[in-house]
Amino acid sequence: MRDNGGYDRTYHLNRIMMAAAMHNGKDKKAIPKDKMDPASWIEKYNTAHPYTKEEDNMIHGAMKTIGAEHHHTVSDHRSIEHPDTHKVSPVIGFKGYPR
């Protein structure tokens, strides 16, 4: 398979897999158009997801070096775990071994 015209196979595969994840698997009907948008804002953009301010600076420096039209959509790059993360061990103690 490929997108009509063969312009962006990676984005097309992403959309195919999104639609497959939404499908009921019981028939071969298309998903109703009101359930899935035909495209997303990412259609014409690649994305980079830096985790730290330093990585964000690296991406911006690279874009300035190569030249790239871009939109900066995230300004908070702190890596913050969910409050429940690493609070309770997922391992259940057994045969005298503690949690």
Note the pLDDT of residue 99: 58
pTM comes to 0.51
Note the pLDDT of residue 29: 94
pLDDT at residue 88 is higher than 90: no
pLDDT at residue 32 is higher than 80: yes
Note the pLDDT of residue 2: 83
- Hey, what long-range contacts does 34-40 have (CB within 8 A, 24 or more apart)? 39/15, 40/15
Proportion of the chain in helix, strand, coil states, percent, rounded to 5: 30, 0, 65
Note the pLDDT of residue 36: 87
Note the pLDDT of residue 83: 78
